[in-house]
Structure 1
Amino acid sequence: MIKPCLIRVIAIILVTFSTSVWGKVKFYSFPVPTEVSHQVKFWHSIFAQYHGHHSVIHDRDLPNIVIDVIDFQVFAQRFNQGYPYERSDQKRIRRKYIERYELAIQRFKEEGRKAVRHGLMEERILKVYSQHDEGLAHLFTRPVNLRVQTGLADEFQRAAERSKKYLPYMEDIFREHNIPVDLTRLAFVESMFNERAVSKVGASGIWQFMPATARRFIKVNRYIDERNSPLKASLAAAKYMGTNFRRLKTWPLTITAYNHGAGGVRRAMRRLRTNDLGKIIRHYRHRTFGFASKNFYAEFLAANIVYKQKYRQDFDNRNPLEIERLKIKQRVTLNELIQKTPLDEETIKKFNFCLKNQAFHRYRNRPLPRNFELIIPKTMARAVERDIQEIARMSPREKRRYRL
């Protein structure tokens, strides 16, 4: 007879090493409910198949139902003498497509299958919805909302190149905090590893933290914004996800909470009395739980698959930027660092995106926060550390000489 403790161990192993159907990519503790698997298939195509010149028209609620793909490169060759379309023109063309497909969908609501007599777009609608288990029922009986998604395959390739500079450090940070290293791939979803990414609502950096959330873990003030440091923001992301995992208990819910907030996810769990993300996606209705939140976990899984299939590297060099992370324990200003160490303003800016322009002007003579982590070239580390010790021993009178 198998002991209960052994049964639990076997169960954990089976969950931990579940495998996806896409290229036998392993998801460590990342289960894939049926509702999510359809979304993953859609986002996989967006990240790996469709490029920036593709506009993919799909069903918002069943995103794997792709109705049409507008290829603006082909359009330009056929209808615009090879000249690329302006954004305003692309928007106008997409709108016309959507209006025509919405008319076709309305006809199916009114006429059923007889709507195909109206033309090729009606025939196309019936064909694509017939290829999915829920498609026809959805088409005939439920509201259908269409959405356009721009392809990201070319941007994903550029992001994979940018990621080489940061992933070794990010993976080490996540390991130190017992967070699965695969979760570093969320940065593809959040920002495509764009260090300068800023959203319309004020989220910033490759991890797209809002100021209030970031302040719980890193410094965000008038002259320092550590959201814009890929390494420091990665530390915040690891801590944030660790905190949410302890509250929510599963990685699908924790990952969704990165987009929707832990409070919002807990509200959905209480209302439906479940911790099954698939059921929440299918049944939970709330004005803030929209397309982005419903698809966030699937986007992560798809990004992880595409990265592993096409771009993954084994990082032999764990310090590709050749940097040293020096914790400043003394009261030292940026001006003193520039005046008394081998560092110049350009070098400090190059490695410390978290220092705003004001830090080098208005706040140039303000001491850096205690335990501030300064990122510097490895070749300068020993000299800088020695000079900082010397600065710390200077008298106030001597220090005043280095004020601008």
Structure 2
Amino acid sequence: MILLRDFQNGKFFLCQALLSPACVLLAFSLLLISGADARPRSWAAEFTTPAGLRARVNFWRDIFTKYGKNQSVIHHRDYPQVVFDTADFSRQAAVLNPVALDSLKRREVKSRIAAVNASLTRLGQGKVPENALERQIVEEMAFIPGGAAKYRKAVKDDLVRSQTGIKEKFADAISRSGRYLPIIEEIFIQKYSLPIQLTRLPFVESSFDYQAYSSVGAAGIWQFMPRTARLYMTVNSLIDERRDPIKSTEAAAQYLLSAHAKIGTWPLALTSYNHGVGGVLKKMKQFGTSDIVSMIETHGERPFGFASSNFYPSFLAALEVYNERHIHFPNLRMEPALDITQYRLPYSVSVSHVVKQLGIDESELRSVNYAISDQIWRGRAKIPSGYVLKIPSNYAPRLAQLGGPEVVIQAAAPPASSIYGGATYKVRKGDTLSGVAKKFSLSTTELKQLNNLSGDVLGIGQVLVVKRRETGRETEVGVTASESSERREEKTYTVQKGD
């Protein structure tokens, strides 16, 4: 069975034999449709690091390849390339537990930042450098205009910060990227005629962590926020396509294509991924330029904060490191590319049904369907109809077995257990008050009286009494034996004065 894809609309077609007339005709027509539009344009020149950003890009290259998780770099916030000090905790990491190590790192980094600020304060007073740290500060900040005032500004505006290295994390990201990068490149190049360089953006956004979820609510390898994501894909309690690498890649391509059309340059279109299209357009108008270098490396008022100012430079650094991965990580092995088939479900189905019909292990199914919520995986809801299910292609021949609706056999009510002298029933999913009453030949009123219920709502797992307690003789439901006896006795009473 051969899987063909229409790159114009993303649809897949299955052919039983490659040389069948229908399959050959389909393949030929797809080639004609995609034609010249599928040939990618060369964008390399537009993603070459500008000379004015080289020092900043080099800083991020070092963070990605030189410094690891146990090393911190103390640097200038506005000019990251200005490095004041470095702290190496590799030796302590070998003997301390994670909690103790983290505490040590925080204390030491805080102490070193305080030392830098103390030296900046002295230099800001016009004093001559008197130690190695102060001499390094003077040397590193020599290109920044302003004399002693620049040192005072660094202290006043809290411009000294630390950055932890991510060498190990970046290596892992490159390894993970092997799974989906060929698919991502195909979507960007073949379907949207976008530059291949843009497909490296997830290295900066999520480190190609397919289950990434940020503290502010961004999700997936492209880190879409819910509001933006809903413009392009499904985001609800059952399906979150931000976590689907294929669907979110389609969304990212559409976003970047639109951003570039509005902004006009790739450097600022990429910056908008962090700062927003409207925000970038506003800054372009305010500063009267679309040149990324003059906007980022200005010595005056800055249009962007730290994250947005470094978004494009860190992207360029990631692009360079990936292209030189065999130099920086010579022993790195990339995960093999996925071979998956996509199938749009015509009906809602349970995970257990898919697993049974395809003969696939649930963990294998889960590993290529990140968009499905835990609620569905736990069996509390079904995969909705219309969802594009991903399966390893070796299971594709069994897809026909999912073509019909799932047959659900209603389980018989479990036998009642005798507790408290009567029969009980545990409420199950889908049960209603009237339904349970009917199962046990009771009226809803009788069932409510037996259980002292005031409303009609039942909870899953709730235990209901469904049979009258035996007392040696038949009694009325919900009435004690003594009360029943009293009702059967005929009594009269004459109303007295004052009653």
TM-score by length of 1: 0.80
> How far did residue 139 of structure 1 move?
6.5
For residues 70-109 of structure 1, the aligned pairs below 5 Å read 70-74=87-91, 76=92, 82-83=95-96, 86-109=101-124
Of residues 370, 375, 380, the one that matches 1:353 is 370
CA contact (8 A) 2:169 2:207 kept: yes
Secondary structure at 2:74 match in 1: strand
Aligned residue for 2:424? Answer: none
> How far did residue 339 of structure 1 move?
4.8
1:299 maps to 2:305:
no
Query: What letter corresponds to residue 347 of structure 2 in structure 1?
Result: R
1:239-266 deviation line (CA, Å, top 9, x unaligned): 1111111111110011000111111111
Q: Name the CA shift for 1:137/1:297 in 2 (closer, same or farther; >3 Å).
A: farther
Query: What letter corresponds to residue 123 of structure 1 in structure 2?
Result: R
Aligned residue for 1:122? Answer: 134
Q: Name the CA shift for 1:140/1:339 in 2 (closer, same or farther; >3 Å).
A: closer
Aligned residue for 1:165? Answer: 179
CA contact (8 A) 2:120 2:152 kept: no
> How far did residue 209 of structure 1 move?
1.1
**Gaps in structure 1 of 5+ consecutive residues:** 1-15, 18-26
> How far did residue 349 of structure 1 move?
1.5
Query: What letter corresponds to residue 303 of structure 1 in structure 2?
Result: A
**Gaps in structure 2 of 5+ consecutive residues:** 1-41, 412-428, 430-499
In 1, Cα distance between equivalents of 2:262 and 2:410: 49
1:280 maps to 2:290:
no
Aligned residue for 1:271? Answer: 286
Aligned residue for 1:212? Answer: 227
CA contact (8 A) 1:43 1:299 kept: yes
More displaced, 228-237 or 147-156? 228-237
Secondary structure at 1:351 match in 2: coil
In 2, Cα distance between equivalents of 1:123 and 1:141: 13
Aligned residue for 1:327? Answer: 344
Q: Name the CA shift for 1:361/1:83 in 2 (closer, same or farther; >3 Å).
A: closer
Of residues 66, 72, 82, the one that matches 1:49 is 66
Of residues 388, 401, 404, the one that matches 2:402 is 388
1:235-291 deviation line (CA, Å, top 9, x unaligned): 2111111111111111001100011111111110111122112222225546xx310
Q: Name the CA shift for 1:53/1:298 in 2 (closer, same or farther; >3 Å).
A: same
In 2, Cα distance between equivalents of 1:153 and 1:346: 29
CA RMSD of aligned residues (A): 2.9
Secondary structure at 1:143 match in 2: helix
In 2, Cα distance between equivalents of 1:69 and 1:45: 12
> How far did residue 107 of structure 1 move?
1.1
Q: Name the CA shift for 1:320/1:183 in 2 (closer, same or farther; >3 Å).
A: same
Secondary structure at 1:243 match in 2: helix
In 1, Cα distance between equivalents of 2:277 and 2:80: 25
CA contact (8 A) 1:187 1:207 kept: yes
Query: What letter corresponds to residue 144 of structure 2 in structure 1?
Result: E
Aligned residue for 1:153? Answer: 167
Aligned residue for 2:409? Answer: 401
In 1, Cα distance between equivalents of 2:114 and 2:232: 46
Aligned residue for 1:6? Answer: none
In 1, Cα distance between equivalents of 2:203 and 2:261: 24
CA contact (8 A) 2:350 2:379 kept: no
Secondary structure at 1:69 match in 2: strand
More displaced, 136-145 or 234-243? 136-145
Aligned residue for 1:66? Answer: 83
Aligned residue for 2:392? Answer: 377
CA contact (8 A) 1:168 1:319 kept: no
In 1, Cα distance between equivalents of 2:82 and 2:335: 42
> How far did residue 301 of structure 1 move?
0.2
Aligned residue for 2:216? Answer: 201
Aligned residue for 1:12? Answer: none
Aligned residue for 2:46? Answer: 29
Identical pairs, percent: 33
CA contact (8 A) 1:160 1:311 kept: no
Query: What letter corresponds to residue 117 of structure 2 in structure 1?
Result: E
In 2, Cα distance between equivalents of 1:201 and 1:120: 40
> How far did residue 188 of structure 1 move?
0.8
Q: Name the CA shift for 1:387/1:82 in 2 (closer, same or farther; >3 Å).
A: closer
In 2, Cα distance between equivalents of 1:101 and 1:160: 35
CA contact (8 A) 2:187 2:250 kept: yes
Q: Name the CA shift for 1:104/1:323 in 2 (closer, same or farther; >3 Å).
A: same
In 1, Cα distance between equivalents of 2:277 and 2:58: 26
Q: Name the CA shift for 1:239/1:341 in 2 (closer, same or farther; >3 Å).
A: same
CA contact (8 A) 2:212 2:219 kept: yes
1:262 maps to 2:277:
yes
Secondary structure at 1:86 match in 2: helix
Query: What letter corresponds to residue 307 of structure 2 in structure 1?
Result: A
**Which one has more relative contact order, counting CA pairs under 8 Å at least 6 apart?**
1
Query: What letter corresponds to residue 401 of structure 1 in structure 2?
Result: I
Larger Rg: 2
Q: Name the CA shift for 1:137/1:300 in 2 (closer, same or farther; >3 Å).
A: farther
> How far did residue 136 of structure 1 move?
7.2
Aligned residue for 1:21? Answer: none
Query: What letter corresponds to residue 161 of structure 1 in structure 2?
Result: S
Aligned residue for 1:143? Answer: 153
TM-score by length of 2: 0.66
In 1, Cα distance between equivalents of 2:335 and 2:170: 22
1:192-222 deviation line (CA, Å, top 9, x unaligned): 1112221110111111111111111121100
CA contact (8 A) 1:268 1:284 kept: no
CA contact (8 A) 1:169 1:319 kept: no
CA contact (8 A) 2:183 2:246 kept: yes
In 1, Cα distance between equivalents of 2:243 and 2:375: 15
